[in-house]
Amino acid sequence: MKLLIHASGYTVVPPWANDRQEISCTLDTKCGGIANCHWSPANRDFAAAGVRSGGSTGAGTVKELLDVIAKQAVESIEELRILGHANDKVFSLAGDVKRDDVYFSNDQAWIGPFPAFESAIPQFKELQDRFTADAKIILMGCNAGSGNTDVMKVVSHAFLRTVQGFKNKIHFNFEWGPTGATVRDRGGQPICTGMAPNSSILLRGRMAYVTVNLNDPLADTSDKPPPITAFTTNAWNLQPDSSNNEGDIFIAVRRTDAGSAATELAWRIMTEFFPGHAWVAGTGINDKSPGLTVIKDGTKMMIDIKPAWGKTTTPATLKKRVAEMRQALELVKNQKTGSIAMT
């Protein structure tokens, strides 16, 4: 299953009086546009994109995001896309959309290296079983690139999966009509097109992403909108160009060699779930171990691992592996030896 969650915490401040006022924010002042007005999508635009993408669920805070994920069946999500606003430091599910910019005014909606999100990481890890082992999380940030390394890294560790984003901004717009008169310069060339008396917004939720090759000296790096033909109303059509898999715990399970899979999974579990664990001098492979076997070599505590402990792990059974590692680390802490059976 592919799941789309759209930001639902964005309000326009002050609200648009009507469609015509909102349209005028996008027009040149020579055609009746509002000076220094920068239009950005808000709740109804993100919701419209969700509808036209086959359906989506809204979330305006980190807690609401967790609630949506919790309602999904175990190992059902193959890809999760989160549509919202972003800048070079944060991805957010809520804020104030003003005439000049988007302001992230609710820290409970921030996704990335921030207190509200980081305090929820244990809950995200608890819900990792809602995803398939090779699932991807894709952040879709309008107004700025959502491919920020720091943000993606934290999200990868929270979801325990690979996270992808967009290096540059995702452009958003709406379709309106009918159009009015075209304003031309002295040479007869069109400058802009104004509104008709009955102009209104006809279609919301259009988006476009154009990859820019910054190494190409002829590349257009301006912030001008892409051609109208580049826009789509289907969020699944946009392809990310940035990725981080630092927290993807199932990289270990996908290893071809069972021994490598088992030892790497053990270290990843220790890192993700027990960051302050007692020192483990090393790990080894032991076919005779029932799962995990803690051994003592002089003053060094080590853990031998059954090869199948890694390769047979799934999102649904990862909790068991974590519980078994907790018992093993307790033995290490108390300088005791013993075995924990794989369940």
Per-residue pLDDT tens for 159-199? 999 999 998 889 999 999 999 999 999 999 999 999 999 99
Give me the chain's average pLDDT, please. Answer: 94
Lowest mean pLDDT, pick from 15-29, 207-221, 229-243, 297-311 = 207-221
Could you give the 3-state DSSP secondary structure of residue 300?
Answer: strand
Name the more confident of 145 and 281.
Answer: 281
Are the CB atoms for 208 and 170 separated by under 8 Å?
A: yes
pLDDT at residue 219 greater than cutoff 70: no
Contacts of 224 (CB under 8 A, 6+ apart): none
Could you give the 3-state DSSP secondary structure of residue 10?
Answer: strand
pLDDT of residue 142: 78
pLDDT at residue 144 greater than cutoff 70: no
CA 188 to chain centre: 47
- The pLDDT-based confidence of 88 (bands split at 50, 70, 90) is confident
CA dist., res. 143 & res. 32, Å (int): 24
Of the candidates 139, 142, 99, the residue with the CA atom closest to the CA atom of residue 231? 142
Between the CA atoms of 290, 292, 295 and 300, what dihedral angle is there, to the nearest 10 degrees? 170
Alpha-helical (H) ranges within 12-159 are: 19-24, 43-52, 62-70, 115-119, 121-126, 149-159
pLDDT of residue 218: 54
pLDDT of residue 1: 96
- The structure tokens listed for 293 are 């076997």
290 upstream amide cis, omega within 30 of 0: no
pLDDT of residue 143: 59
pLDDT at residue 215 greater than cutoff 60: no
pLDDT of residue 213: 60
Q: What is the DSSP letter of 180?
A: E
- The structure tokens listed for 144 are 């700025």
pLDDT at residue 254 greater than cutoff 80: yes
pLDDT of residue 40: 96
Could you give the 3-state DSSP secondary structure of residue 264?
Answer: helix
Are the CB atoms for 253 and 265 separated by under 8 Å?
A: yes
pLDDT of residue 309: 97
Quick one: CA dihedral 105, 7, 164, 135, positive or negative? positive
